Every structure is written in structure tokens, then in C-alpha cells.
Amino acid sequence: MGGRHGGPIDFGRPVVGTVENTEEMYNLFNKTAKAYDQSGVEFFRPIGRRLVEFSGISAGDSVLDIGAGRGAALFPAAAAVGESGEVVGVDISEEMVKYTRRDAEELGLKQVGLRVMNGQRPEFEAGRFDAVIGSCSLFIWVKGADDVRPYLELLRAGGRFATAAPSFFSTAHGKWALFPDAVNELLMPYMLQSLKQSGAYDSQFANAGANWLVTAESIEQTLAEAGFTDIEVIEEELPVVVESGEQWVEFAYTTGMRGMWERIEENERREVIAEVCRRLDALRDENGVIPVPVPIVYMRASAPEVG
């Protein structure tokens, strides 16, 4: 681990296939790791910064970052805890860990440690951390209270849990806010097809009413059932901009959406990409850029105090 326990290290590939969808995520994010969050589109990093701010992490804390990716929340958390604290980032992808470890070493962040680990069931002792966070990661596999409870167990009494996700509130109306409005009806069928083919993620889109992220109230209920207290949920619009439709497609390829693109037959995929670019390029504003704002949901809660 990092900080009080040494520099960034890797503990080897996790056992895959023992938890639903692990192998799919492992392969997908290994493929995207090098380009992940490197497209020039400011998306994951501002979410990570806001999540750390929202979580209330402070100097000296011990923090676990689930699904650390390329460090969008990991590095802001490291700044928040300072040299007297520690941040342990885990990710299922060996490649993500490789690149993020390199970046941490280049930044001289001795308080940062990295492990290759299945974030669905983190292998740490109970009460190990002051805070557990996950930026645009946990929503992929969490379906209900049972999937959140492992993070509660890792927290000390009064410790903080916080996570962020692209808002699913609009799925109740047949949309997912991660897609720009102009291309939502074009891309949603492909996303649904990909979900059904891969089994990688639950289809929150197809059954929005059963999705724990569909309303603030359902999020609060899920976290309360898991045993958390002092729950707060907010939705904020992230002002994402791209220079062209092509840049948005390139950005999408560097995220978990890559799985959707790769399941579209090649000739059809070229046609879909051309249409996405045409629709988005038509939205260029007076400044020459294309606004594609994305609502993000942030949620935080606390582990109960003792007594």
C-alpha cells in the first residue's frame, strides 16, 4: 500500500469469473486502459475532483478508491489526505493499474498504493478505512443493498462512503443522460443489444423502475438498507464540451461504451458513427464547440457510530 505503508505496488491479477461479469469487465477495461481518460474531453477528472470534495475526505485519512481507473478520484484524494494519509486504489484491470502506478510514481505520491483487485469484493480487513469512494465505477455492478454492504464493512465507525455515476434519473423516461440528446434514440438500441449479448451489466435502461439509481429516493433506500446513515444525494450537471462529433466518438471509445461500439457490425458501425458525428456537429455553438452536458449523481453516507 502507499503512504504509511510504502510506495505504489501491485499484488497481481485477481481471480476472475467468481463474481458475475468479472471477466467481461476485466477484458474491456484492459483494452481501454491506455486511452482511458486521455481523449482530451474533460469528463472523468472533474467528476473525480467533485466526488472527493463532496466526500469530505481530509488530511490524514485512509481512503480506498474502488475502480480507480486512471486516477480521476485517486489523485485528488491523495492531495486531500496529504503525506500523513494514504489512498489505496484498486482496479480489476492490470493495465489500468500499470498506467496509474506509473503516473503516481512520476508525481511522487508516496501516499498512493495500487492493487489489481476485484472491486466488487475488496479484500481488506473490516474497519480498515476512513473513507471508501468510487467514481463512475460502482454503478456498473451494484444492483442493491447487498452489493453496497461490503464497502460499509471496510469503514471504521463514522467513516464515509461516496460514489458518483452518470445520472440514471432520466431512464424512467427512456433516456440515459450519458448519451447526448441528439443521439440518444440512435444509440440506445445498440446499448441495449450490447447489454443483452454480453451480460456484462444489468440493463438499467430496459427496467428503469427496478434500478436503484433511478431516483434519489431509491438511492437513499438502498444505502439505508445496506446499513448506512446520514445519506445525501445530489444531481449536478457536468458542462462537457467537445470540439467535434468525431471527438465525442473517440471519447466514447475510451470508456466502457467501447463494448457497445465493438458489438456493432463493421459496415453498420461506420454508418452509425457518421450519423452521430453529423448530428453532434450540427450543435456547434458560437464559440465553435459542441456542448454535451451530462448530469452526474453524487451520493454520500456514513457508517454508523459505535454505541
Share of the chain above pLDDT 70, in %: 86
Q: Domain 3-169+208-238+296-302, what architecture?
A: 3-Layer(aba) Sandwich (3.40)
How far apart CA 252 and CA 259 sit, in angstroms, is: 10
Residues of the chain with CATH 3.40.50.150: 3-169+208-238+296-302
Indicate the helix (H) or strand (E) that contains 141. Answer: none
Q: How many residues does the chain have?
A: 307
Cβ(290)–Cβ(283) under 8 Å? yes
User: Residue 240 is placed in which grid cell?
Assistant: 462537457
Identify which of 198-202, 204-208, 241-245 has the greatest average pLDDT.
241-245
Residue 157 in this model has a pLDDT that exceeds 90 = yes
Beta strands of the chain (E only): which ranges?
A: 62-66, 86-91, 112-116, 129-135, 155-166, 229-238, 241-242, 290-291, 294-302
Per-residue CA distances from 116 to 10, 209, 284 (Å): 6, 34, 41
Cβ(66)–Cβ(147) under 8 Å? no
At 226-282, the pLDDT tens digits run: 999 999 999 999 999 999 999 999 999 888 888 889 889 999 999 999 999 999 999
- The angle subtended at Cα 160 by Cα 157 and Cα 10, nearest 5°, is 100
Burial bucket for residue 134 (CB in 10 Å: 0-12, 13-18, 19+):
buried
For residue 165, which of 277, 59, 291, 73 has the smallest C-alpha distance?
Answer: 73
Radius of gyration of the chain (CA): 19
- Listed in sequence order, the residues at least 6 apart from 259 whose beta carbon sits closer than 8 Å to its beta carbon are 24, 28, 194, 198, 200
Cβ(222)–Cβ(144) under 8 Å? yes
Q: State the average pLDDT for the chain.
A: 87
How far apart CA 190 and CA 263 sit, in angstroms, is: 8
Confidence of residue 7 (pLDDT cuts 50, 70, 90): very low
